[in-house]
Amino acid sequence: MYRLIGKQFRKPSGILGTIISNIMIKGNSPDYDKVIPELDIRPGDSILEIGYGHGLGVHRLASGYDCMVSGIDFSELMYNMATKRNREHIDRKRVALHYGDFLTSEKIPGLYDKIFLIHVIYFWDSLDEPFSLIRKKLKEGGLLCMFMAHADFIRKMKFTKDGIFNKYSIDHVVDRLTSAGFREVHYTLDKKGYIIKCRSFNFIQPSGASPVH
């Protein structure tokens, strides 16, 4: 039973998926409250959420900020739920939601100023490929922001004990981000977990060089 519930957090489907997604709306809404201000949204920013789930985060961004929001999620149930929630913004072309696996899909067009994900990295068995793909989708200097529950917090839950959830340490995540080429990697910790921020640069100025005016 617990394995079944764990699987639903990874990819919600059916009636159980609807129940789990309502639990996520309640439980994870405060995590969106923490992450959204960290995105430091500027007018016209293009932002991608990976694993948008119920679509609450996408809706908050499109309703409260002058930005273009895209998202990708590989649960058909979540795609339908998020589409319903964001119908008005989609019709106005402020939101574009995609249904597919971020790791294999070529559906998401263009490059983004900011990419964020909340409670998603546990489901990636290695972080190297996802982080490298995220870098490819970011503009020069683009921001990646993630929320990840503390490994101790995840361990307390019965449905996380069966190999579906990877319980990454913050040191491992920082190490993999750095190895993928992210720079300015910073994190903060609260009772539940970590907000991790970093930037993608392809062109590093040689140290000591002054900007050309």
Ligand X SMILES: C[S@@+](CC[C@H](N)C(=O)[O-])C[C@H]1O[C@@H](n2cnc3c(N)ncnc32)[C@H](O)[C@@H]1O
Residue 143 gets which letter from DSSP? E
Least separation in angstroms between residue 49's CB and ligand X is: 7
Query: How many whole angstroms separate alpha carbon 84 and alpha carbon 156?
Result: 33
Extract the tokens encoding 180.
Answer: 């993928």
Least separation in angstroms between residue 200's CB and ligand X is: 19
Least separation in angstroms between residue 13's CB and ligand X is: 9
Least separation in angstroms between residue 119's CB and ligand X is: 4
Nearer residue to ligand X within complex by CB, 160 or 200: 160
Nearest to 139 by CA among 31, 46, 211: 46
* Contact between 114 and 41 (Cβ < 8 Å): yes
Nearer residue to ligand X within complex by CB, 67 or 146: 146
Nearer residue to ligand X within complex by CB, 10 or 139: 10
Extract the tokens encoding 169.
Answer: 């340490």
Nearer residue to ligand X within complex by CB, 10 or 201: 10
Q: What is the binding site for ligand X (CB under 6 A)?
A: 9-12, 24, 28, 50-51, 53, 72-75, 78, 101-103, 118-120, 123
Nearer residue to ligand X within complex by CB, 22 or 202: 22
Query: How many whole angstroms separate alpha carbon 85 and alpha carbon 56?
Result: 8
* Contact between 35 and 145 (Cβ < 8 Å): yes
* Contact between 106 and 37 (Cβ < 8 Å): no
* Contact between 28 and 55 (Cβ < 8 Å): no
Least separation in angstroms between residue 193's CB and ligand X is: 11
